[in-house]
């Protein structure tokens, strides 16, 4: 290993435009092997489209224009054709989305959907059923032999998200992109899912790109934080540093919004945008 190993994913000068609107404006960042990076920002700050742009999941031009470079293991994903991208999607860069109940296809069983991921990317697996039960067990789904045959609507939200994670993990991706994986879940389940992701990361050594608007789950989970505001990265740094000493006024405002336990009864803080430039 070199002293300074090349990052797994290197994004440079990425811009995303929808017609007149610039959703993401020349951002650059990188993700190292085994690193957890959190992208934090409010709705419309461009964090979700950034995640989708990594494997070009956005609508094609002219509806949406993506420029810039996305280097994954020395390969520019922005220049890859559809077939090449399909080999990256799921296999190398896997996604989990915000709404687990909508991300699972309602007409197929959990097992069938995980089997599809295996079919697409894991020709080495001879017995998919065994592998599916193994990953379902890995993500903490009890009774995997039974859940295997369950339809999405028969599972709770937390279980559905676990199934989604299982689907993403079965291909052993290098990077897991988690687009607000806990937003649609209630607070106790949120904590369980975050714990699960942390545990899996330690076990499997993959990188995670976590997209969230919630500073609460960043702490103790992410190694590094990117703060996005109006399509730009306004602050970047190790989690502890950003949380303790936010420099950009937007970051300060965002952290100020987190309600604390034992806080005096008062109006919740909101962001005064006129103060931020």
Partner 1 sequence: MFSEITRQQFRRFRTIRRAWYSFWILLAAYVLSLGSEQIANDRPLLLGYEGRWYFPTLKFYSSETFAGRYRTEADYLALEKEPSFEQKGGWMIFPPIKASPLRSYLDQKGNPPHPPSAQHWLGTDDSARDVLARLLYGFRTSMSFALALALLGTLIGAIIGGVQGYIGGFFDLTAQRLIEIWSALPFLYVVILIGSIYGQTFTVLLLVFSLFQWIGLSYYMRGEFFRLKDQTFAQAARALGASHTRVLFRHILPNALNPIVTIFPFSLIGGISSLTALDFLGFGLPPPTPSWGEMLQQGLKYLYAPWLALASVLALFITLLLASFVGEGARAAFDPKATNTVR
- To the nearest whole angstrom, how small is the minimum distance from the Cβ of residue 70 to partner 1? 15
- To the nearest whole angstrom, how small is the minimum distance from the Cβ of residue 171 to partner 1? 8
Instruction: Give 116's contacts (C-beta < 8 A, 6+ positions apart).
Output: none
Query: CA–CA separation, 175 vs 97, rounded Å?
Result: 14
Indicate the residue among 56 and 224 with the shorter CB distance to partner 1.
56
Alpha carbon 55 to its chain centroid, in Å, reads 13
Query: CA–CA separation, 81 vs 203, rounded Å?
Result: 33
Would you tell me which residues interact with partner 1 (CB under 8 A)? 55, 57, 63, 82, 86-91, 94-95, 97-99, 102-108, 116-117, 120-121, 151, 153-154, 164, 167
Gyration radius of the chain over CA positions: 19
Query: CA–CA separation, 79 vs 26, rounded Å?
Result: 17
Indicate the residue among 98 and 190 with the shorter CB distance to partner 1.
98
Strands 224-229 and 36-40: parallel
Indicate the residue among 36 and 109 with the shorter CB distance to partner 1.
109
Edge-to-edge, what's the strand order for the sheet holding 9-18? 21-31, 9-18, 65-72, 75-76
Indicate the residue among 94 and 243 with the shorter CB distance to partner 1.
94
- To the nearest whole angstrom, how small is the minimum distance from the Cβ of residue 274 to partner 1? 35
Indicate the residue among 175 and 233 with the shorter CB distance to partner 1.
175
Strands 207-212 and 36-40: parallel
- To the nearest whole angstrom, how small is the minimum distance from the Cβ of residue 2 to partner 1? 31
- To the nearest whole angstrom, how small is the minimum distance from the Cβ of residue 78 to partner 1? 17
């Amino acid at each position: 290993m070199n002293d300074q190993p090349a990052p797994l994913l290197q994004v440079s000068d990425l811009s995303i435009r929808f017609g007149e609107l610039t959703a993401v404006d020349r951002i650059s960042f990188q993700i190292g092997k085994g690193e957890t990076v959190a992208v934090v920002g409010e709705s419309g700050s461009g964090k979700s489209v950034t995640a989708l742009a990594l494997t070009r999941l956005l609508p094609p031009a002219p509806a949406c224009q993506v420029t810039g470079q996305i280097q994954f293991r020395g390969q520019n994903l922005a220049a890859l054709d559809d077939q090449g991208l399909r080999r990256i999607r799921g296999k190398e860069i896997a996604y989990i989305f915000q709404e687990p109940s909508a991300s699972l296809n309602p007409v197929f069983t959990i097992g069938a959907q995980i089997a599809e991921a295996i079919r697409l990317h894991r020709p080495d697996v001879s017995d998919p059923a065994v592998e599916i039960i193994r990953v379902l067990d890995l993500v903490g789904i009890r009774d995997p032999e039974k859940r295997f045959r369950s339809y999405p609507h028969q599972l709770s939200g937390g279980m559905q998200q676990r199934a989604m994670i299982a689907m993403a993990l079965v291909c052993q991706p290098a990077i897991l992109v988690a687009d607000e994986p806990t937003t649609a879940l209630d607070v106790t389940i949120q904590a369980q899912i975050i714990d699960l992701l942390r545990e899996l990361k330690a076990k499997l050594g993959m990188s995670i790109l976590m997209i969230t608007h919630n500073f609460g789950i960043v702490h103790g989970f992410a190694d590094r934080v990117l703060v996005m505001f109006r399509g730009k990265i306004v602050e970047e740094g190790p989690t502890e540093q950003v949380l303790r000493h936010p420099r950009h006024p937007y970051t300060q405002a965002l952290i100020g919004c987190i309600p604390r336990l034992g806080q005096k009864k008062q109006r919740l803080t909101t962001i005064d945008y006129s103060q931020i430039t």
